[in-house]
Chains A and B, each alone.
Chain A
């Protein structure tokens, strides 16, 4: 133990992290009785589970052994609850294609999701406005609850359980990689130690364990990160009246963006990023006050000033002289009547970006590689993008009989 700590690279280990994952460059003359997995995915969130699922369903991986490690318990969803969950994600059409490639999208369609066709993004201090829509008003994206996505992925994982093994309540506490030069007598695989003391070996470790990634720390990959001085407040809102509700609304206030995402004809999901103090206030105030705050955030022009209005109008006039464009009229989002009890939660926001996404025998996907602000609804979509890209490379490598961990392009 002491020897291992002594060998660890000092730059990657602040004192507090010593208790968690250990960095070890020590060459492991491993116990060959351990199963050697072809791929181990560490982290069973939406991105980790989707990665394991995608690999399990890939045709060139039919002969391979894949393991998914999830620290939490297995979430079983017998029946879809009537109340919507307050954690939702906007799934882009590309991500939907990935999910349907291994059959998870069908499950989502059978549960519930909401397609939106337009997006209006406008400013709190001026008349600035952007309207997004697709040709023929095709679906721009889908708002799906995170639990629904997880359930669909779990079902598809069970469908390939002969190739993909899932270990719940298993947290990896230590990772060790082979030395930088290939020594003849040492095991060339990655060794993972679990919380219960058991060890496994794998040719490729994929880290999908979130923005505080243990895999990233253990691999010693540099990470640029900082905390935004913002927290996001999420809630499920009841609209005053049933509408077609296929528009996503987002307004940029001085304190941060507030977004309303459609869930059904009468329900929408709120994501309001604002300062820590304001967020704490919003979560603790009573329901009526909260509803008023939300409505006024979308409707009120209190931040407009004459100066900005006249400057804005002049600019628009000048631009229209050069290039006449259709001026879209600002529409107002539906008004909110009620908020679901106990659906108000807040969580802090930050940025994170790993210096390298791949190294020999390790790859980072999802928030472990890049953590972003939810304002553009791209966090999980980038994770799914990582999966498509990594899957393409791994699939080709498997069909060429390559050692998967060495494919570090």
Chain B
């Protein structure tokens, strides 16, 4: 549309100044909605997190900023009413993240390669998802415990988590903005005729399918994704939108603490090379308290928050009471989001974290015993 073309000219200039840019994504992906444009997200992110850039390139930036913002206002009028007005970025996909993952698109299924920690994380996340979903089902088929469930795996990558869920009987829809990832995932599942039927993949972002898949899914999984999205608020809104009432949202991500900077970025990326360099940005990590507040303000009641610890020597993950590094959260879409009064909300938030953790620990201990 004409709006986006205008934007690309000014946006492109701006991006050139900042020194980063990913036109690849924009050119190749088919657009469902005219408002999913990447340069805006880049602008907002940079403004929030790297203000020093502007001090150096002040005049140039200011001019292009003004142009971009005016175009933005025009675009705003085309947005669907659901989007909250205070969030200027209206896409959840971050193009620099897309670029990082594009480089590693073929390595997903190498179990001893860069994605080895994600493979072994399945030992924790599959039972976590499976057991919490089984609680909501009255009876289930032996051998196919999740049969009848429709699951959406957002940011499915190469399908590492999608395939085990498919094996457990669920119908899984995996989406990812990087089309090389989806190609790898589709190729891998093609070898198994059972999985081929149960899993479907698509190259798109969450907001692109949010409208047509409203109220469809029994569960939405965003594992190791929320620390890569550009606009978390919109992302959670869309997750909530596509979930059925009573449906579950599962998130695994990294906490924003000093420890996660030291171990998660400095040690894992730069020293030990457990995670490829540049995969994570500490500013995008989110604490469980903040995540809970976003979830609750969108009508998702948090059921469980549990910490996960990776042992780089054994290559295995373990549940932990400590959420200062990685953690998993399970929330359920409630019937009424706006029944919560402010007082309830505050006290709930304060007591939620330790209480949830305490109840999780006994739950996790039970699981461990099994």
Question: Is B187 a contact partner of A401 (Cβ separation < 8 A)?
Answer: no
Q: Known contacts A59-B143, A60-B143; decide if A400 and B166 are in contact (CB<8 Å).
A: no
* Contact partners of B127 in chain A: CB under 8 A: 400
Is A184 among interface residues, defined by CB-CB distance under 8 A? yes
How many A-B pairs have beta carbons closer than 8 Å: the answer is: 59
Given the contacts A32-B191, A184-B106, A187-B191, A401 and B141 also touching, CB distance less than 8 Å: no
Instruction: List, in ascending order, chain B residues with CB within 8 A of A188's CB.
Output: 191
B121-156 residues with Cβ-Cβ distance < 8 A to A are 122-123, 126-127, 130, 141-145
Report the Cα distance A402→B123, complex, angstroms.
9
Which residue from A64, A181, A400 sits with its C-beta under 8 Å from B143? A64
- Which chain B residue has the least Cβ–Cβ distance from A65? B194
How far is B193's CA from A64's CA once the two chains are assembled, in angstroms?
A: 12
Q: Specify which chain B residues have a CB less than 8 angstroms from the CB of A403 in the assembled complex.
A: 163, 167
| A229 interface residue per 8 A CB criterion | no
Give a binary string over B154-191; 1 marks a CB under 8 Å from any A CB, 0 the rest. Answer: 00000000011111110000000000000010010011
Chain A at the B interface: mostly helix, strand, loop or mixed? loop
Specify which chain A residues have a CB less than 8 angstroms from the CB of B145 in the assembled complex: 399
**Contact between A184 and B110 (Cβ–Cβ < 8 Å)?**
no
* Distance (whole angstroms) from the CB of A42 to the closest CB of chain B: 21
Q: Are A401 and B191 in contact (CB under 8 A)?
A: no
A32 contacts which chain B residues (CB < 8 A)? 190-191, 193
Min distance, Cβ A399 to any Cβ of chain B, angstroms: 7
Q: Hey, which chain A residues are within 8 Å of B169, CB to CB?
A: 63
- Give the docked Cα–Cα distance between A188 and B123 (Å): 21
Report the nearest B residue to A35, measured CB to CB.
Answer: B193
Question: A interface, how many residues as a size bin?
Answer: 20 to 34
Q: Are B163 and A401 in contact (CB under 8 A)?
A: yes
Chain B residues closer than 8 Å to A64, beta-carbon distance: 143
Shortest CB-to-CB span from B180 to chain A, Å, is 11
Given A36-B191, A63-B141: A182 in contact with B164 (beta carbons within 8 A): no
Specify which of B106, B123, B164, B167 lies most central, judged by the most chain A CB atoms within 10 Å of its CB. Answer: B167
Asked if A402 and B164 sit within 8 Å, CB to CB, the answer is yes
Would you call B164 and A400 a contact (CB within 8 A)?
yes
Q: Which residue of A lies closest to B112 (CB)?
A: A181
- Tell me if A61 is interfacial: C-beta within 8 Å of chain B: yes
Q: How far is the CA of A399 from the CA of B143 in the complex (A)?
A: 7
Is B192 on the interface with A (CB-CB < 8 A)? yes
How far, in whole Å, are A317 and B319 apart by their CA atoms in the complex?
59
A330 interface contact, C-beta 8 A: no
Q: Is B310 an interface residue (CB 8 A)?
A: no
27 intermolecular pairs with C-beta atoms under 8 Å apart: A32-B190, A36-B191, A36-B192, A36-B193, A59-B142, A59-B143, A60-B143, A62-B143, A63-B169, A181-B110, A184-B187, A398-B167, A399-B130, A400-B122, A400-B123, A400-B130, A400-B164, A401-B122, A401-B126, A401-B130, A401-B164, A401-B165, A401-B166, A402-B122, A402-B164, A402-B167, A406-B111
User: Which residues of chain A have a CB within 8 Å of any CB of chain B?
Assistant: 32, 36, 59-64, 181-182, 184-185, 187-189, 398-403, 406
- Extra inter-chain contacts (18) besides given A61-B143, A401-B166, A402-B164, CB under 8 Å: A32-B193, A36-B193, A36-B194, A60-B142, A60-B143, A62-B144, A187-B191, A189-B191, A398-B143, A399-B130, A399-B145, A400-B126, A401-B126, A401-B130, A401-B164, A401-B165, A403-B163, A406-B111
A-B pairs with the 10 shortest C-beta distances? A62-B143, A401-B164, A63-B143, A401-B167, A401-B168, A59-B142, A62-B142, A63-B144, A400-B126, A182-B109
